């Protein structure tokens, strides 16, 4: 069952991709993208994280349960941030102080 191994070449290629993406994220940080700067930074970071998870952490050989576990973590993190921000963002819509 642990017959899966990742070739050294793949590992190095992933590493260079990660280094390249780090360069990209630094580069775009110095460009004025307006409101898009944070989404772009998050998108690049997520791409890098996906590479690490899928190749380095061997998710691609993993069982369905590991996919389930990691997506559960991400889902509940989004819920935590999303529902909290639902409050922060909509405060003041009513124009009543403290509501």
Partner 1 sequence: METAPKRTNYLNADYGIRSWLLTLDHKRIGILYLISITLMFLLGSLFAVLIRLELLTPAGDFVQADTYNKLFTMHGIVMIFFFLVPSIPAVLGNFLLPLMIGARDLAFPRLNLMSWYVYMVGGIFTLWAIITGGVDTGWTFYTPYSTTASHSNVLMTAVGIFITGFSSILTGLNFIVTIHTMRAPGLTWFRLPLFVWAHYATSLIMILGTPVVAITIFLVGIERAFGLGIFDPALGGDPILFQHLFWFYSHPAVYIMILPSMGVISEIITCFARKRIFGYEFIAVSSLAIAVFGFLVWGHHMFTSSQSVYAAMIFSILSFAVAIPSAVKVFNWTATLYKGSISFEAPMLFAMGFIGLFTIGGLTGLFLASLGLDVHVHDTYFVVAHFHYIMVGGALMGYLGAIHFWWPKMTGRMYSEWAAKVSAVLVFVGFNLTFFPQFVLGYLGMPRRYHAYPDEFQVLNVMSTTGASILGLGYLVPLCYLTWSLWRGPLASANPWKAAGLEWTTPSPPPTENFETTPVVEEEAYTYPLKEAEVV
Partner 2 sequence: MSSSTTVAHQFDDAAQQKRASTLGMWVFLVTEVMMFGGLFTAYVVYRSLYPEAFAQASHHLNAELGAANTLVLLGSSLTMALAVRSAQLGKRAGTVIGLIATIVLGSVFLGVKAYEYSHKFHENLIPGPSFVFPGSEADHAQLFFSLYFAMTGLHALHMVIGVGILGTLTVMAARKRFSAEYHNPVEIGGLYWHFVDIVWIYLFPLLYLLGRH
Six token digits for residue 39? 């989404």
The answer to whether 6 and 58 have CB atoms below 8 angstroms apart is yes
Is residue 66 at the binding interface for partner 2, with CB under 8 A as the rule?
Answer: yes
Q: Which does 1 bind (CB under 5 to 8 A by kind): partner 2, partner 1, none?
A: partner 2
> Which residues of this protein are in contact with partner 1, per CB under 8 A?
65, 72-73, 76, 79-80, 83-84, 86-94, 98-99
Structure tokens at 5: 């191994």
Q: Is 54 in the site for partner 2 (CB under 8 A)?
A: no
Q: 50 and 8 in contact (C-beta within 8 Å)?
A: no
Of 36, 39, 60, 72, the one binding partner 2 (CB under 8 A) is 72
Give the DSSP letter of residue 61: G
Which one, of 74, 19, 68, 70, lies nearest residue 48 by Cα? 19
Cβ burial of 85 (10 Å; 0-12, 13-18, 19+) is exposed
**Shortest Cβ 70–partner 1 spacing (Å):** 13
Residues lying near partner 2 in the complex (CB under 8 A) are found at 1-2, 5-6, 8, 11-12, 14-15, 18-19, 22, 25-26, 29-33, 37-38, 41-42, 44-45, 48-49, 52-53, 55-58, 62-63, 65-66, 69-70, 72-74, 76-77, 80-81, 84-85, 88-89
């Amino acid at each position: 069952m642990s017959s899966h191994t990742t070739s050294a070449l793949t590992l190095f290629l992933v590493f260079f991709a990660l280094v390249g993406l780090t360069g990209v994220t630094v580069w775009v940080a110095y460009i004025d993208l307006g409101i898009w700067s944070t989404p772009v930074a998050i998108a690049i970071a997520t791409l890098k994280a996906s590479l690490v998870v899928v190749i380095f952490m061997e998710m691609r050989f993993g069982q369905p349960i590991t996919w389930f576990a990691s997506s559960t973590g991400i889902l509940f993190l989004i819920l935590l941030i999303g529902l909290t921000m639902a409050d922060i963002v909509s405060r003041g819509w009513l124009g009543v102080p403290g509501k």
